[in-house]
Amino acid sequence: MFPHHQQTIARLTDFFQTDPAFLALIIGGSIVKGFARPDSDVDFMLVATPDEYARRVEHNAFQYVSQDFTDYEGGYVDGKVIDVAFLRDAADHGSEPARSAFDGAIVAYTRDPEVAELVARIPAYPEQSHTAKIKAFHAQVQAHQWFVSEAEKRGDAYLMTHAVGQLVLFGGRMILAHNRILYPYHKWFMTMLRRAPDKPENLMTLIDTLLAEPSKAHADAFCECVFSFTEWDIPTEGWPVRFMHDSEWTWRNSGGAPVMDW
């Protein structure tokens, strides 16, 4: 991070650590992950007391955005209000994007010793769901490879654009999972994929080509690259059935996260 980001964190810490409504301040976002630009904002999470969190639930007030703590061009702070229960849930069963939000996180201050322990545990890769995810992502790649061929036959630009995006997403997620790298959601997806140490040598070139020139030929080249990279776990029921359960019939699930957010 840059010195002005450190100064902003110091101002945030000085301001909130005297407020009895907040137990801890956690710094996250691009500045702790090594992605920061000079004008990057400072992302943070305020851990509220039970009473303060209940008040914010009542008013749906979970965001804190301000320019008062920054003195650099384009600077602002962007915060979310959470509670210790949120941290426990994230450590126990958080999605990969939820876990990734805590990767590199800094506990600027805390009055609850459990907070630091939870923040350290949250960004662990969920090994227990690794095989299931690989199977699900493999089925998604196969399904969208078929959608690309349908889009080309029909001259359907919308379907082509959607299918190509999903191909890159799920093929890339297979590679991230292979490397036990948490999926950081779309904004930093390509960055983390480029950083993955164990991947096909020409993967990023094939992605760039597919996104710039969507076609069945380029989609097939990308899929072949991913599928032939290693011996993947695949769904024994076949990709159409797995895709049906994970995409077409998710409306029957009670609160299950979409497969792209696992």
**Where do the structural domains in the chain lie, given as residue ranges?**
3-121, 129-261
Query: Per-residue confidence at 251, pLDDT binned at 50, 70, 90?
Result: confident
Task: Flag whether pLDDT at 261 surpasses 90.
Answer: no
Residue 20: burial class (beta carbons within 10 Å; 0-12, 13-18, 19+): exposed
Q: What is the pLDDT, as a whole number, of residue 47?
A: 98
* pLDDT per residue as tens digits for the range 113-143: 999 999 999 999 999 999 999 999 999 999 9
The CA distances from residue 86 to 50, 162, 235, in Å, are 11, 33, 33
Q: How do residues 81-96 score in pLDDT, each as one tens digit?
A: 999 999 999 999 999 9
What's the mean pLDDT when you consider all of the chain?
96
Where helices occur in the chain by DSSP H, the ranges are: 3-16, 30-33, 50-59, 84-93, 96-100, 113-121, 130-154, 157-178, 189-195, 203-212, 216-227, 239-243
Q: Tell me the C-alpha to C-alpha distance, in Å, between residue 210 and each of 82, 163, 167.
A: 40, 11, 10
For the chain, the first-to-last Cα distance in angstroms comes to 29
- Residue 20 clears pLDDT 70, i.e. is over it: yes
Helix (H) or strand (E) holding 106: strand 106-110
| Measured CA distances, 67 to 22, 75, 246 (Å) | 20, 7, 42
Under CATH, to which class is 3-121 assigned?
alpha beta
Is the pLDDT score of 255 beyond 70?
Answer: no
From CA 75, how far away is CA 201, in angstroms rounded? Answer: 38
Q: Write down the pLDDT at residue 253.
A: 76
Confidence of residue 258 (pLDDT cuts 50, 70, 90): confident
Q: What is the mean pLDDT of residues 235-252?
A: 92
Backbone angles phi, psi at 23, to 5 degrees: -80, -30
Q: What would the mean pLDDT of 211-230 be, rounded to a whole number?
A: 98
